[in-house]
A = this chain, B = another copy of it.
Amino acid sequence: MVAFAGMAIRDAKKQQTRQALMEAAIDQVAGGRSFASLSLREVTRDAGVVPASFYRHFRDMDALGLALVDETCQQLRRLIRAARSTSVPGDTMLAASVGTFLLFVQTHRAAFQFLTRERHGGSRPVREAIAREVRGFVVDLAVDFARYPHFGKLPREDLEMMASLLVNTVVSALGELLELAADHPDVQGAQARKLTDQLRVIVLGGLAWRPGTRLPAGAGAMPAG
């Protein structure tokens, strides 16, 4: 009984140290450092543990980076799935998904700063892990698309093209949101409305899309950016 309680305490403590190491890395990156430039020694110092204890939690710094990506994205993915499954398709679902996303970002700001910075950062394993997670969101969304009448008739690659357009738009908005100070509710509101409108434009475009569509000459046509 005493041994069992001792083990539970040890497990909780181990979990706590793991969390402290991850938070130390997140905070450094959110503060402007690149993950690739962080040393194990800095992270353990910030977490208040001796360097040698790092290896009880992670094989190396990249393994810590991967755990960070994994935990933040999996949690968001579950929340977004829940938001989608509990609301009526259409504008209500769009608003619910955007709201869920923005709230989660607000409460995990430093973790998303990490993801945004390291998406194109210097650690290849971390970059690839973030790309895989983004791809996971795209696949989830393409599967959801396929359930709706118009979209269900489109080829899979068209659904993925539109899902990736939508996910990339959310990721871009995330980058802009994180540049704002946390205490700008007005600007945040305006950005949330802009994002929602952009997603509406994409859905409207998707509803008008047929495989092999070309733009009409003249009329509403325009260039690439």
Interface residues of A (CB under 8 A from B): 32-34, 36-37, 80, 83-84, 87-94, 96-98, 100-101, 116-117, 119-124, 127, 131, 137, 141, 144-145, 148-151, 158, 161-162, 164-172, 175, 178-179, 194, 197-209, 213-225
Contact = CB atoms under 8 A, between A and B. Distances in A.
Given A203-B205, A204-B204, A204-B205, A80 B223 contact: yes
Given A137-B225, A204-B215, A205-B208, 4 more contacts: A32-B122, A89-B217, A119-B120, A166-B224
A11 B93 CA distance: 61
A208 to B, nearest CB: 4
* Oligomeric state, in copies: 2
Given A34-B36, A172-B171, A222 B117 contact: no
A161 B98 contact: no
11 contacts: A91-B214, A93-B223, A101-B225, A141-B223, A144-B223, A149-B220, A164-B198, A165-B202, A169-B169, A203-B215, A206-B220
